[in-house]
Structure formats: structure tokens, C-alpha cells
Amino acid sequence: MMEEVNDYVEYVPVAMQLAFEVQKMLQRKGKSSALEEEIEKQKLVKAKSSLLVKASQLTKDQPKITQIEQIIMQEKEIVEHLSDSKTLMSVLELAKGITYKDPMLTGWKPPMPIRRMSKKPCDVVRKRWHIIVDGEDIPPPIKNFKDMRFPEPFLEKLKDKGIVQPMPIQMQDLPVILSGRDMIGIAFTGSGKTLDFVLPLIMIALQKEIMMPIAPGEGPFGLIVCPSRELARQTYEVVEQFLGPMREASYPELRPLLCIRGVDMKPQLDVVKTGVHIVVATPGRLKDMLAKKRMNLDNCRYLTLDEADRLVDLSFEDDIREVFDHFKAQRFRVFARSALVKPVTMNMGRARAANLNVIQEVEYVKQKAKIVYLLECLQKTPHPILIFCENKADVDDIHKYLLLKGVEAVAIHEGKDQEEREYAIASFKAGKKDILVATDVASKGLDFPDIQHIINYDMPAEMENYVHRIGRTGRCGKTGITTSFINKNQSETTLLDLKHLLTPPVLAELNDPMEDAEAIANVNRVKGCAYCSGLGHRIRDYPKLEHQKSMQIASSRRDYFDYGGYCEEI
């Protein structure tokens, strides 16, 4: 028994014995960790057959992408994705700088000395007035309305309106459009773009009418599409202002039509029946009229997309594409079709185009103190004053508050009916009301004469809207001031955009992630946001894109015949 105990040898499993032997053997060779190495080698041999491991090895072996390169790649992806949805941009891109083989001949010609001007004196005028043009055979700029060969009643009307000399953009745009060339006009707010397309359109309609008078049910010769009813009405009124004196001077009658939702359709149809020359429309009502064959575009040769970037932003692309389908003229069809198959994203650079005639002030006002401080702020300048807010509810609250305080105020937002909207705009424009409180529906394109002060009760989410808002003052060479309330409710992106636009001391201390962006801009040559041109953020952080994504989802769910919602005319 004792023997049995002394002879006891502890049982070691065979595998362990073998491992122990190998270990001893390798130790003898002086390689203590060689076993581990051997095991690793074995593992690698096995791993060679796994695709996953191969892939991870490849990734490991790839050169490291820097953070900046990663951002550039992400931005490129976003821009490429955008170009799928923003097809109308390519219409702009195609027309940019005059790209066409076949200009529409109008027969208009400036006086001989201007026609004979060589490139050099043309460039001198352009340089003097900071006119930047791009394209082939650009007609010479013209420095006075008389040489543009407008009829006498036009010249009289311009004088009545206090318009004696063309604005710089008009010096170049008017000859380009009058001679029948396609054109894209990008200019800061209040620079007089409306007359650029209204006056030549009337001239073309007049010429056509003289050559072959329009028959009942025919027309129009020209079409102006606007993104909001207010803007369409305003443009229609400008057309009317010039047609009236022509009628009085016994020129052939030209009939304009305002084609917008929210107004009685019967009078609109009556004008169409007698034959209409010029149509000013919003996309929705225009599309309806065309689809129901109440009107056709068989004779239409002149198209203006006013605030074209906004027409796209508001998801009117589908409506406009449908409108394009009604054009019979080959030129338009080619133009529209090629535009739609070769989409390009274009940056209009509006955010950088803030009007230099506007003094911009920014004030930090706590949320609770805003409404009371507003009253104080109204004392800064005489009336009329425009107050902008993001929300309809805030517009209503401020409006009520001002009325309670005895201030002559009107209000406008998308929730108000057409009559209220029209009353608000008309009474404010006529000077019967001192203050207009509005959402961004009133920020773009609307021309309120002599506004001295714009108050941004809050900042718009997009810097582009800020530029449009403040552009309601400082128009046609006058100066104006703006006061923008900011507080901690504003997003950092908005504030940084603003900082880059103004850089006042109150914003200078903000921590700016755009410092990296300098490096990005040096590599890909895109400064700021490739979408909206805001200088305080990159395209990845652009708030509207998030919104657009949700809109795309929403619109894909929308019933085709349901006209409510976002795509409704605003």
C-alpha cells in the first residue's frame, strides 16, 4: 500500500504532455515565446482562407484617410445625391451665361453707335458698374432707357415712378433679353430684377400682337412663374402699370392674366377666352389650368422663372416640369428635356449676396423679454417697419400685442386666407398701416417701398432667408437698418453663419468648427456650404437638407389628388 503511494505518478492528459514536451524542446532552442509564435502562425494559415479576415487585413493595409478627406468625401456624396432631386437647377445651369444655339429672334436692335461698340468700351462700362457677365456675343450694356428703344408711354411711366436711369443689372440684362437671348440673372435683393423681365416681355407681346393679333382663346405669348401668390400679384401689378399707359396712348391692347389660387376663377377664364398675351402665375393654378385645357402654351415663347431657386426649394419642380410639357416650341422642349436628364446642382450664392446698403444690427434678447423689447425697438426709425418671425403663432401673438398697444399693424402668414393676405400687403404697401408682421412668405421678392427698418424677431433657420428678409430694405440704392434678435434658442449653425456674414463682437467668441473648414476649402475649393453658400457651416450640417429628406418621404406618401400640404402654393 505504502509502495503504491510512493510510486504514485500524477495523471497528465496526453495533449498536455505533448505540449509540455514541445515547450521543453523549444526552450532548449532558446526561444521561450516560440510556441506562441508558432500558434499565431498556425492561426494565420487558417485565417488565409477567410474572406472576412482578408478584408480586414486589406483595410488595415490601406493608407489612412484624414478627417478632412473624409469630410470632403461625405460632402461630395451629399452633393451628388442632391443633384438627383434638384433637377430644375440644371435649367438654370443650362441657361447660365447664355448657352444656346438658337436665340429667339426679336427684331429689337439698339441704336447704331451702341451696336458698333467694340468689346473694350463695353468692358469699361461693365467694370465701372461692377457688371459681371459670362457668355458669347453678349450684347453691349446700355446706360439709358431711351437707347433701349422703349415706347414713349414706357419712358413716361418709368419717369413717373422716379426711375430715370437703369440700375447696373438692368444696363446689361435688358439688352440681353430684348435681343432675344436666354439669361440667368443673379443679383442682390432690391436691385431691380422685375423690370428686367417685365419690360422686354411687354415689348415682345406688343411686337407679336402687331404682326398677328391674338385670336379669342389663344395665348399667351409670355409666361412669368412666381413662387408665391403675393409675388405673382405684385409682378402682375407691375405689368399692369406699364400696360395702362400704352392703352391710353392707343397702342394695340395687350391683356394680362393673374393666374393664382385663392381668387375667383371665372374672371380668369373670361380673359383667356378673349385671348391673353401675358400670364403671371403660381405653379399650382397654372398647372390646373393647363391640365384642364382652359389655357395652352402653344404660342408661348417667353418664359421667366422668378426666384427660380425658391421654386425648386419649395418642391414645385414637378408642377414646373408639367408646365414645360405644355410648351409646343421645340426650343423649350429641348431646353427642358436636356435640363431634366442632365441634372447639375447649382449654387446661387445668395447668402453671400447680402445687400451692402443695409446696416445689420444683432441684439441678444432673452426669450421672455422679446415682445416688450420689440416695442422699444420700433422707436429706432420711423415707419414703415417689417417684423419677421419663423412661426405663424408668433406672428399672431405679436400682431395682437401691437394692436393692444395701439400700433397700426397688419399680419401675414400661410395660415391666413387670401383676402386677409391681400389686405395686409395692400394696406401696408399703401402706407395705411405702419407695421407688417410676417413669416418668410413676405421675405422674398416682395417690394415694399421705403422700408427703413426690418426686425428679425427670431433668426430664420437658413441664412439665405435672412438675406432675403433684410433685402426688403435698402432697396434700389437706398439705405436701411435691420435688427436681429438672437438668444440661446438659435442653433449654433445659424449663429455661425451670421457670424461669418457680420462678425460682430457678440458672436466672435463662439467656438468655430469652421476653422477646419478653411483647410477643406483649400482642398476642394468650396467655401462654406456647397448648397446654400452659408459661410458658417458645411453642407453636412445644412438644416434644410434634413427637412427636405422628411419632405421627400412625406410627398411620396401623399395622394396625387390631395392638394394640401407643403406643395400647396404658399
Ligand X SMILES: Nc1ncnc2c1ncn2[C@@H]1O[C@H](COP(=O)(O)OP(=O)(O)OP(=O)(O)O)[C@@H](O)[C@H]1O
| CA atoms of 58 and 54, how far apart (whole Å) | 6
- Return the bridge partners of 453, or none: 385, 481
**Is the CB of residue 278 less than 8 Å from the CB of residue 257?**
yes
Give the nearest distance from C-beta 190 to ligand X in angstroms: 5
**Is the CB of residue 452 less than 8 Å from the CB of residue 473?**
yes
Binding track, positions 195-214, relative to ligand X; x by CB under 6 A: x-------------------
Q: Does the footprint of ligand X cover residue 228 (CB under 6 A)?
A: no
Q: Does the footprint of ligand X cover residue 194 (CB under 6 A)?
A: yes
- Which residue lies nearer to ligand X by CB, 399 or 421? 421
Give the nearest distance from C-beta 358 to ligand X in angstroms: 12
Q: Does the footprint of ligand X cover residue 304 (CB under 6 A)?
A: no
**Is the CB of residue 278 less than 8 Å from the CB of residue 254?**
yes
- Which residue lies nearer to ligand X by CB, 173 or 218? 173
- Which residue lies nearer to ligand X by CB, 47 or 476? 476
Choose one: 113-121, 192-200, 265-273, 421-429; the region binding ligand X (CB under 6 A). Answer: 192-200
Q: Does the footprint of ligand X cover residue 443 (CB under 6 A)?
A: no
| CA atoms of 110 and 231, how far apart (whole Å) | 31
Q: Does the footprint of ligand X cover residue 310 (CB under 6 A)?
A: no
**Greatest extent of the chain over all pairs of C-alpha atoms, in Å:** 141
Single out the residue of 138, 148, 167, 271 in contact with ligand X (rule: CB under 6 A): 167
With residue 158 as reference, give the H or E element that holds it. Answer: helix 152-160
Helix (H, G, I), strand (E, B) or coil at 200: helix
- Which residue lies nearer to ligand X by CB, 421 or 538? 421
Give the nearest distance from C-beta 187 to ligand X in angstroms: 6
Counting Cα atoms < 13 Å in the Cβ hemisphere of 334 gives 8
In what order do the strands lie in the sheet containing 385-388?
358-364, 480-486, 453-456, 385-388, 435-438, 409-412
> Using CB under 6 A, which residues numbered 404 to 433 contact ligand X?
none
Cβ-count burial of 28 within 10 angstroms (0-12 exposed, 13-18 middle, 19+ buried)?
Answer: exposed
Q: Kindly list the distances between the CA atom of residue 350 and the CA atoms of 431, 525, 526, in Å, as whole numbers in the listed order.
A: 29, 18, 15
Question: Judged by CB under 6 A, how many residues of this single chain contact ligand X?
Answer: 20
3-state secondary structure 9-60: CCCCCHHHHHHHHHHHHHHHCCCCCHHHHHHHHHHHHHHCCCHHHHHHHHHH
- Which residue lies nearer to ligand X by CB, 168 or 219? 168
| CA atoms of 407 and 138, how far apart (whole Å) | 51
Choose one: 25-33, 119-127, 164-172, 502-510; the region binding ligand X (CB under 6 A). Answer: 164-172
Q: Does the footprint of ligand X cover residue 44 (CB under 6 A)?
A: no
Q: Does the footprint of ligand X cover residue 230 (CB under 6 A)?
A: no
Give the nearest distance from C-beta 445 to ligand X in angstroms: 4
Q: Does the footprint of ligand X cover residue 168 (CB under 6 A)?
A: no
Q: Does the footprint of ligand X cover residue 384 (CB under 6 A)?
A: no
Q: Does the footprint of ligand X cover residue 538 (CB under 6 A)?
A: no
Single out the residue of 139, 141, 153, 166 in contact with ligand X (rule: CB under 6 A): 166
Residues 6+ apart with CB under 8 A from 239: 198, 201, 202, 224, 256, 278, 280
- Which residue lies nearer to ligand X by CB, 446 or 514? 446
Q: Does the footprint of ligand X cover residue 403 (CB under 6 A)?
A: no
Single out the residue of 35, 125, 133, 163 in contact with ligand X (rule: CB under 6 A): 163
Single out the residue of 106, 191, 228, 299 in contact with ligand X (rule: CB under 6 A): 191
Q: How many CB atoms lie within 10 A of CB 488?
A: 9
| CA atoms of 94 and 308, how far apart (whole Å) | 13
Q: Does the footprint of ligand X cover residue 110 (CB under 6 A)?
A: no
Give the nearest distance from C-beta 355 to ligand X in angstroms: 9
- Which residue lies nearer to ligand X by CB, 307 or 541? 307
> Using CB under 6 A, which residues numbered 462 to 501 contact ligand X?
471, 475-476
The grid cell for 326 is 405644355
Choose one: 65-73, 120-128, 158-166, 243-251; the region binding ligand X (CB under 6 A). Answer: 158-166
Q: Kindly list the distances between the CA atom of residue 213 and the CA atoms of 160, 277, 378, 466, 543, in Å, as whole numbers in the listed order.
A: 29, 10, 53, 45, 51
Q: Does the footprint of ligand X cover residue 173 (CB under 6 A)?
A: no
| CA atoms of 528 and 524, how far apart (whole Å) | 11
Binding residues for ligand X (CB under 6 A): 161, 163, 165-167, 170, 187, 189-195, 445, 447, 449, 471, 475-476
